[in-house]
């Protein structure tokens, strides 16, 4: 009888232990953003952790580009002060996988200069579990996932997918899984179209075999497309693999694997179409009255230089209607950027020798007071030519038009940047040019853009 009870207790204990192990959760720190410094916020990882419950045995995964970051576990006092003179442990080889072995508070940051003070820091509280987890470990990168097997899918009308959405087709910093994540929640069918956007001469699109895709040994290709935007109609079911023949692009994550499901009718052969001409900003038109709106320029990306694209803000503005009374909010780290309103000729040439007005204290809030085109950039070196520039066309009036003065008072430029700005009231709006875009932006990569931020100090 006693022996039977002992066996029962043992079975209950083992069952609880097994349940504890099966309940283990793996958290990717920052999700798609990875482990990095993000512009416009020092609370990114605090917000990421806010709605999560961490238990002993759970695993934290820190993704970053090798050699650009590390992960340091530190004490609370070092974390709070960002005085990283001593650490509990440091991990350097991504992806870093840390198994939470003890309950209580744990603090992580980076030993790279200023990373902690710029917000690359994570504090979590670990709850006790029925069985202790193993000691912190790091494990090698998991093998790349291939596209799932074909499945039977109901017939629908063909769809057009812009690969990477607003980010386009490029190498993105801090992640080699950008396009894997982009494709993860999509169903591709015969007849659908893939659109690859990139700057002519800087990329191409190569369809390759699975073995070439997995090994990134791009010595042979099925087909190569060089003229953007590349439009490929999916003509056959099964797995399709795309990358670039440019050096190291595949190994850096510029690769897309998809699985195409059969449809009722086969799609046409793969085709490419020429780049459409840049659209001019439409002339001001009569627009129905509405309440004033506040637009955060670049949304979560903020106001900065973005790697791999000089059209980020053009794409951001493309699907928006700006009206007199609306407000633009420019978010950036104080002392690293500014906002300069300039003329069209200065905007087009990026010769920032004169400005209409300059704003230096973030967040900069500018109320749109006049109709017509407005042009914004930064007086910091090369920022305009690197794509930190925004052209918008203001039409109509909102229901309540505020006073014509900008919400943020213009400030003097940083030493040696530009001459003192003139009056913030622009001259008669210039005739519409080719500055505002007509391309749409949507989807997952409004978040993914954050991955592409680079701080130029």
Do 36 and 30 touch, CB atoms closer than 8 A? yes
Least confident range from 41-55, 127-141, 180-194, 281-295: namely 127-141
What is the pairing mode between strands 357-359 and 390-397? Answer: unpaired
Q: What is the pLDDT of residue 53?
A: 92
Tell me what percent of the residues of the chain surpass a pLDDT of 90. 42
Least confident range from 9-13, 25-29, 42-46: namely 9-13
Least confident range from 33-42, 108-117, 441-450: namely 441-450
Summarize the confidence of residues 188-198 as an average pLDDT: 92
Q: Is the pLDDT of residue 38 over 70?
A: no
Helix (H) or strand (E) holding 124: strand 122-127
Compare 195 and 3 and report the one with higher pLDDT: 195
Q: Is the pLDDT of residue 372 over 70?
A: yes
- DSSP-assigned states of every residue in 222-256: SEEE-SSSEEEE--SSEEEEEE--STTTTTTT--E
209-268 pLDDT, tens digit each = 999 999 999 999 999 999 999 999 999 999 999 999 999 889 988 899 999 999 744 445
Q: What is the pLDDT of residue 375?
A: 97
- Count the neighbouring beta carbons within 10 Å of the beta carbon of residue 187: 15
Identify the band that residue 337 occupies on the pLDDT scale cut at 50, 70 and 90.
confident
Q: Is the pLDDT of residue 310 over 70?
A: yes
User: Could you tell me which of 351, 341, 332 has the C-alpha nearest to residue 376?
Assistant: 341
User: Could you tell me which of 409, 333, 412, 341 has the C-alpha nearest to residue 377?
Assistant: 341
Q: What is the pLDDT of residue 409?
A: 55
How many angstroms separate the CA atoms of 7 and 397, rounded? 79
- DSSP-assigned states of every residue in 400-453: S---SS-SSPP-PPPTTS-PPP--SS--SPPPP-S-S------STHHHHGGGGB
Q: What is the pLDDT of residue 288?
A: 54
Summarize the confidence of residues 433-453 as an average pLDDT: 39
- Report yes or no on whether pTM surpasses 0.85: no
Which residue is it, tokens 């190291």? 248
Q: What is the pLDDT of residue 201?
A: 85
Summarize the confidence of residues 333-350 as an average pLDDT: 92
Do 324 and 393 touch, CB atoms closer than 8 A? no
Least confident range from 45-54, 55-64, 266-275, 444-453: namely 444-453
400-421 pLDDT, tens digit each = 544 444 455 565 554 434 444 4
Identify the band that residue 306 occupies on the pLDDT scale cut at 50, 70 and 90.
low
Compare 146 and 184 and report the one with higher pLDDT: 184
Helix (H) or strand (E) holding 27: strand 26-28
Identify the band that residue 42 occupies on the pLDDT scale cut at 50, 70 and 90.
confident
Least confident range from 105-119, 280-294, 329-343: namely 280-294
Compare 175 and 71 and report the one with higher pLDDT: 71
Q: What is the pLDDT of residue 166?
A: 65
Strand ranges for 311-430 from DSSP E: 322-324, 327-330, 339-342, 357-359, 364-367, 372-377, 390-397
Compare 170 and 167 and report the one with higher pLDDT: 170
Identify the band that residue 387 occupies on the pLDDT scale cut at 50, 70 and 90.
confident
């Amino acid at each position: 009888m006693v022996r039977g009870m002992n066996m029962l207790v043992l079975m209950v204990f083992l069952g609880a232990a097994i349940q504890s192990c099966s309940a283990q959760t793996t958290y990717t720190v920052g999700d798609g953003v990875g482990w990095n410094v993000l512009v416009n916020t020092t609370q990114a990882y605090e917000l990421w952790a806010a709605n999560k419950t961490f238990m002993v045995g759970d695993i934290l995964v820190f993704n970053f580009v090798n050699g650009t970051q590390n992960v340091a576990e530190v004490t609370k006092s070092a974390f709070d002060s960002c005085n990283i003179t001593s650490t509990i442990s440091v991990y350097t080889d991504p992806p870093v996988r840390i198994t939470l072995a003890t309950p209580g508070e744990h603090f992580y940051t980076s030993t790279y200069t200023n990373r902690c003070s710029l917000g690359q820091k994570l504090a979590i509280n670990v709850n006790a579990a029925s069985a202790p987890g193993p000691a912190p470990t790091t494990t090698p990168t998991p093998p790349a996932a291939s596209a799932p097997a074909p499945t039977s899918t109901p017939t629908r009308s063909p769809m057009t997918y812009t690969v990477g959405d607003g980010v386009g087709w490029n190498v993105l910093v801090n992640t080699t899984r950008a396009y894997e994540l982009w494709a993860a929640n999509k169903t591709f069918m015969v007849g659908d179209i893939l659109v690859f956007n990139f700057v002519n001469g800087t990329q191409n699109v190569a369809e390759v075999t699975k073995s070439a895709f997995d090994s990134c040994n791009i010595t042979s290709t099925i087909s190569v497309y060089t003229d953007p935007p590349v439009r490929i109609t999916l003509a056959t079911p099964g797995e399709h693999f795309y990358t670039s023949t440019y050096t190291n692009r595949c190994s850096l994550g510029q690769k897309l694997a998809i699985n195409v499901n059969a449809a009722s009718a086969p799609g046409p052969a793969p085709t490419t179409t020429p780049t459409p001409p840049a659209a001019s900003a439409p002339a001001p038109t009569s627009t129905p009255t509405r309440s004033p709106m506040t637009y955060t320029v670049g949304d979560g990306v903020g106001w900065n230089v973005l790697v791999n694209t000089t059209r980020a803000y053009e794409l951001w503005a493309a699907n928006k209607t700006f009206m007199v009374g609306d407000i633009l909010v420019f978010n950036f780290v104080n002392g690293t950027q500014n906002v300069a309103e300039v003329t069209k000729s200065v905007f087009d040439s990026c010769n920032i020798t004169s400005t209409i007005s300059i704003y230096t204290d973030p967040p900069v809030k500018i109320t749109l007071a006049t109709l017509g085109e407005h042009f914004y950039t930064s007086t910091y070196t090369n920022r305009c030519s690197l794509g930190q520039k925004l052209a918008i066309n203001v039409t109509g009036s909102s229901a309540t038009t505020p006073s014509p003065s900008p919400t943020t008072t213009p400030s003097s430029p940083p030493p040696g940047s530009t001459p003192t700005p003139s009056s913030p009231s622009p001259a008669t709006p210039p005739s519409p040019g080719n500055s505002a875009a007509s391309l749409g932006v949507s989807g997952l990569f409004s978040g993914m853009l954050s991955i592409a931020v680079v701080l130029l100090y």
